Structure 1
Amino acid sequence: MPRNKEFDYDEKLVTARNLFWKKGYNATTMNDLVDTLAINRSSLYLAYGNKHELFLKSLANYIQQKDNQYSEAAKKSKKPLEAIRHIILSVTASAIQDTSCLFTNSVFEMATTDTQVSGMLRKQTIKAIDLFEQLLNQAKEDGSLKSSKEPRALAHFLVSGLVSIYNTQILFADSGLTKQTAEILISSINS
């Protein structure tokens, strides 16, 4: 008779995700994972695979969380430019609360050396760009976007700007400055 898992798979996945988020992929050892998840090594391997597979699952979990965050923020307004503003302010609140971002950390730690991670990050970035572009096109159609900037290029800029929000908070730990950075990003849409 097969043995039942003695732990909650999703709960432990979030715990692993948070450890990778805090320490980074390279600084996190299998011993760290075993100790932090409080499960034995064989159970960890059976449930999640090796460290790299667990990281990919953790990153996918984080990306899903960010998808949900962007979607919920965008739904706060039927006006497309307000929806973009809500997304940017949601990211700002996360940066201030969490100080860092597993996605951003992974870009700088692994995107140039790990094709699987790079592929996941690129796919998610394109998804965010598509969301911003769709909202910008709607704003152009309803006349609220006055800028002559190409919506796709502006969408790329806005998504890149989200990284600058985290960068500001990480380096300066100044929520006022981080909020100003976000407001400048928002104001750039129609400038």
Structure 2
Amino acid sequence: MARPRSFDEDRVLHELRDRFWDAGYSATSLQDLMRISGLGKGSLYAAYGDKHSLFLRTLRTYVTEGNEGLRATLESEPRAVDALRKVLLSPVNPGAERGCFLANSTCELATQHADVRAEARQAYETMTELITACVAKAQQEGDLPADQDAKEFARSLLAAQQGVLYMGRTGMDLDMLRSVANDLADRLLPR
């Protein structure tokens, strides 16, 4: 008879995700994962599978939480165009140099691991769909041109936001990063 798990799986997954996020996949060792989780090798593998399976699980959890956060941001403002502006400005925060776990992981692993590339493509497609719905709402509200392809514009907004995110990863001063993000928002979205 299997023993019940006596650890907080969500907490452990978040702590393991943070290790992958901060160090990267390649620089995270099995010993790191065991130390952080407090689990032995057998228990860690029984709970989460091998290192790659564990990594994918942390990435999927991050993406799910990120999409929930994106959805909340897109629904947070009375006018859709203001919510889109918030999305463009979202990478401007004191933790900007940490970047995005999805983007960091995609850069590190997508060329070598088709499953990571597929996860990233699906994640960005879901983000695009969420942003597309908000763009369409902004068009209905008269804040964006109705003749513009909503999905193509959503992809452009996501690319701009990811660019700001990447610039934050370089350690750019927050005031300069905010200025860049505001300039992008002013060029792409009316006030």
User: 1: distance between equivalents of 2:64 and 2:189?
Assistant: 30
Count of residue correspondences: 190
User: 2: distance between equivalents of 1:137 and 1:26?
Assistant: 41
TM-score using structure 1 length = 0.90
Q: Which has the higher contact order (CA 8 A, sep 6+)?
A: 2
Report the CA distance between 1:145 and its aligned residue: 0.8
CA contact (8 A) 1:76 1:86 kept: no
Asked whether 1:47 is paired with 2:47, we answer yes
Would the alpha carbon gap of residues 48 and 85 (structure 1) be closer, same or farther in structure 2, given more than 3 Å must change? Answer: same
Which residue of structure 2 lines up, in the alignment, with residue 144 of structure 1? 143
Report the CA distance between 1:100 and its aligned residue: 1.5
Report the CA distance between 1:185 and its aligned residue: 2.4
CA contact (8 A) 1:84 1:135 kept: yes
TM-score using structure 2 length = 0.90
Which residue of structure 2 lines up, in the alignment, with residue 172 of structure 1? 171
More helix by share: 1
Query: Which moved further from structure 2: 56-65 or 157-166?
Result: 157-166
Unaligned runs of 5+ in 2: none
Give, as a single letter, the amino acid of the residue that structure 1 aligns with 2:174.
S
Which residue of structure 1 lines up, in the alignment, with residue 12 of structure 2? 12
Asked whether 1:75 is paired with 2:107, we answer no
Which residue of structure 2 lines up, in the alignment, with residue 23 of structure 1? 23
Give, as a single letter, the amino acid of the residue that structure 1 aligns with 2:24.
G
**Counterparts of residues 55-70 of structure 1 (less than 5 Å):** 55-70=55-70
Which residue of structure 2 lines up, in the alignment, with residue 33 of structure 1? 33
User: 2: distance between equivalents of 1:75 and 1:143?
Assistant: 17
CA contact (8 A) 1:81 1:144 kept: yes
User: 2: distance between equivalents of 1:19 and 1:99?
Assistant: 12
User: 1: distance between equivalents of 2:76 and 2:137?
Assistant: 16
Report the CA distance between 1:103 and its aligned residue: 0.7
Unaligned runs of 5+ in 1: none
Give, as a single letter, the amino acid of the residue that structure 1 aligns with 2:83.
A
Report the CA distance between 1:147 and its aligned residue: 8.2
